[in-house]
Amino acid sequence: MSVYAEVVFALPLDQSYSYRVPEDMAAGLMVGVRVLAPLGRRCLTGYVIKVRHRRPVGSFELKALQEILDEKPVFSPEFLKFTQRLADWYHASWGEVLKAALPPSLVVRSRIRYALRKEALDTEKNQARLTAEERELLELLGKKAYTERYIRRRFPQQDVPALLKRLEKRGLVTRQREIKKASVGRVEAVAPTVSQLELDFSLDRDALQAARAMGSALSRNEHRAVYLHAAAGTRQAIYLYLLKQNSGLRRRALVLVPEIAQSEGLRRDLELKLGESVAVLHSRLTPSQRAAQWRKLRSGQAHVAIGPRSALFAPLDDLGLVIVDEEQDGSFFQKEAPSFDARRGALIRAQMSGALLVYGSGWPAVETLHRAHKGGDVVHLTGRLQMGYVEILDDSRSRSLIAGRIIERIRRRLEFKQEPVLVFCSRRGYASFLRCSRCRHIARCPNCDVTLPYHKKDGRLLCHYCGHGQAFSPDCLECGGRMIASRGPGIEVIAEELRRNFPTRRIVSFDPDAAIQSTDRERILDDFEQGRIDILLGTPFLAHRHNLPPAGLVAVFHPETALGAPDFQAGQRAAQNLRQVIRHLAHARDSELLVQTEFPWHHCIRPVAFGRFEDYYDQELQYRRTLGYPPFSYMAEIVFQGENLRSLANWTRNFSRQLDEAHADVEVLGPALAPMSRIRGRNRVQMFVKSARKSRLDQALRSPLSRVKGRRSVHIFS
């Protein structure tokens, strides 16, 4: 009896492929087995999603699989269902989602190399028929076998596919298929973790009552989604309480955090206080370390998985608890393919597993908290924060780079309190761009549609999107006029001004351009904690550090930068960035927060600075309701990318026409050039589609998206 396998590939394709497989391999070809199968002229790694004994319906020829690459399934049936639902929600390729779920070292890679057949080349007949281009290519292949991609780079003016096909047909070139199989490795035995015996007094009466209410749902093995609005210390105490109870029920847990450093700290706490075996999954691990952590989870030796958004795909069955801490953080959203939001993915996974889901934050995202309020599962344990002195300085009419009040307060803190100071600036470099004083020419990146920020320290103009850099020239390349810094002072300007006002003080910058090595970063933070740094200056890169010691005085420059983005979430992003900075202010009566901004009365600046979350939340929600943005609608942003702008325009016009003709109940905005209309050499055109219901949005997008042949990405907001 014949057996057939249904396979998906890690390509942006919305259909699966069926292959005939040997009957004796049916037992091994269970869901999750990876296979190698031909698709066109390439050999691709696929994932078996279904095995059936009946031939698929359709008039097409079934091909046999070339090779079985796994002895056992790498994905469980439950995990396959989860990834399918996640891919469907975000209109992503199921195969790409499955590939993203595996550590890179476990993904089987295959490629075709072209090699010269020397015995065929030696015949006089072939020698006489060779063209100049063919001789040049065969001379290259005579040294070594190369892939088609490499050959195209060497011969950009030639039609390489046709040339190779011609030589292969004549027997002068042969294909060699190479497969890099995943190293199976072995799972090391995990030694029992010794927990520290201690009495836990971290939960007050209200927090303990909330933890017990969540724990009751945990003990009943029923799905429930709870939003925990509380300070970081309270949240962590409740997390530990729930994780301990979940461990007693012999169920497994998934903890998502926005930062890698935070995941390592939480791992140490869990192993010390609960004796839990914990695995951490994140991108800074080496391929072998990441594979070892993945195997530890898959084998059942680790019961808790911790990490940023990639940990969503941890191989955990029998989930009882899912925690998403700092839920408001934008790093949970992945824009590159496959596009998904780990917060929504956590909800899908908890629903399918019947697990308790806890979203936690001290400054919640507007849309998530609104949905939680509608469901009735919100726990507020915030209380009133002790903010100390807060002053917002209007920079709209000031000509000073740093307000005199800020200089005065910093000097008083350093001289009388003898305490270090934290200063934050939202922009990297010296200036947002340079312009010519004569012809107004602005230096721009040749690969991206952006201006080139000026980095004075390195004497370079550097693109923050593609990494393109060029040496600074004081003379305009167009007319020879003088180039001057303009628009948006960056961290280097602030540092320069602080050194001018405090020449005897030690001032250190902490940003991606100044502190590149991890050892340098830890040394700077240690020096700041020990009082060897007077003023530590940083960008959001510093603000996201969870091990940064608090300071008695925090000064913030231009937190409104994010407000200029053409994005309905721009206000929320500005508020969250400012809140991230305020986290590092010491909770004391004499603490000082100074904010220099051009929008002192904006609802994303003033209420945030004074810790009034409700004022900010109500105003932001009112704007969303008035304009019909999420959470009052479902919205899809579709970004089309390509090198040829004319072809790109045709795709998007056809896509828009199909939406207008078939679905009158959705609102279509665009197409139009994206705000960043070109990044890394690719043109970008975007569209927005809104609907009151997710089902209508999906129905409108499904058919038009399946017809798109070019590169595209879909981002869903809800």
> What pLDDT shows up at residue 605?
93
> What pLDDT shows up at residue 399?
72
Give the rounded percent of residues in the chain with a pLDDT score beyond 70.
84
> What pLDDT shows up at residue 428?
82
| Domains along the sequence of the chain with CATH | 3-108 (3.40.1440.60), 111-180 (1.10.10), 205-381 (3.40.50.300), 389-428+490-624 (3.40.50.300), 436-480 (no CATH), 634-717 (3.30.70.600)
> What pLDDT shows up at residue 115?
83
Burial label, 553 (beta-carbon count in 10 A; 0-12, 13-18, 19+)? buried
Query: How sure is the predictor about 184, in pLDDT bands with cuts at 50, 70 and 90?
Result: very low
Per-residue pLDDT, averaged over 412-434, amounts to: 87
Tell whether the model's pLDDT for residue 156 goes beyond 80: no
Task: In whole angstroms, give the CA distance from residue 352 to residue 78.
Answer: 8
> What pLDDT shows up at residue 575?
93
Residues 6+ apart with CB under 8 A from 473: 483
Per-residue pLDDT, averaged over 10-17, amounts to: 63
Contacts 24+ apart (CB under 8 A), 654-661: 654/707, 655/687, 655/704, 655/705, 655/707, 655/708, 656/687, 658/703, 658/704, 658/707, 659/689, 659/700, 659/701, 659/704
Cα angle, residue 488 at apex, residues 487 and 489 outer, rounded to 5°: 115
Tell whether the model's pLDDT for residue 439 goes beyond 50: yes
Tell whether the model's pLDDT for residue 136 goes beyond 90: no
Per-residue pLDDT, averaged over 509-513, amounts to: 78
> What pLDDT shows up at residue 200?
55
Specify the 3-state DSSP secondary structure of 44.
strand
> What pLDDT shows up at residue 482?
85
> What pLDDT shows up at residue 187?
46
> What pLDDT shows up at residue 171?
79
Query: How sure is the predictor about 664, in pLDDT bands with cuts at 50, 70 and 90?
Result: low
Task: In whole angstroms, give the CA distance from residue 368 to residue 630.
Answer: 10
Tell whether the model's pLDDT for residue 526 goes beyond 90: no
Per-residue pLDDT, averaged over 563-592, amounts to: 88
- φ and ψ at residue 636, rounded to 5 degrees: -115, 130
Half-sphere exposure of 498 (CA within 13 A, CB side): 28
Convert the pLDDT of each residue in 305-343 to its tens digit: 999 999 999 999 889 999 999 999 888 998 888 889 999
Tell whether the model's pLDDT for residue 139 goes beyond 50: yes
Convert the pLDDT of each residue in 193-247 to its tens digit: 444 444 454 678 888 999 999 998 888 888 999 999 998 888 988 999 999 899 8
Convert the pLDDT of each residue in 464-497 to its tens digit: 888 888 888 888 888 888 888 766 678 888 888 9
Give the rounded percent of residues in the chain with a pLDDT score beyond 90.
25
> What pLDDT shows up at residue 641?
87
> What pLDDT shows up at residue 64?
65
Here the tokens at position 167 are 């030589």
> What pLDDT shows up at residue 382?
77
Per-residue pLDDT, averaged over 91-99, amounts to: 88
Query: How sure is the predictor about 617, in pLDDT bands with cuts at 50, 70 and 90?
Result: very high
Least confident of 22-31, 107-116, 157-166: 22-31
Convert the pLDDT of each residue in 349-380 to its tens digit: 999 999 999 999 989 999 999 999 887 789 98
Go through the chain and tell me how many residues it has. 718
Tell whether the model's pLDDT for residue 501 goes beyond 90: yes
Q: Chain-wide mean pLDDT for the chain?
A: 82
> What pLDDT shows up at residue 430?
83
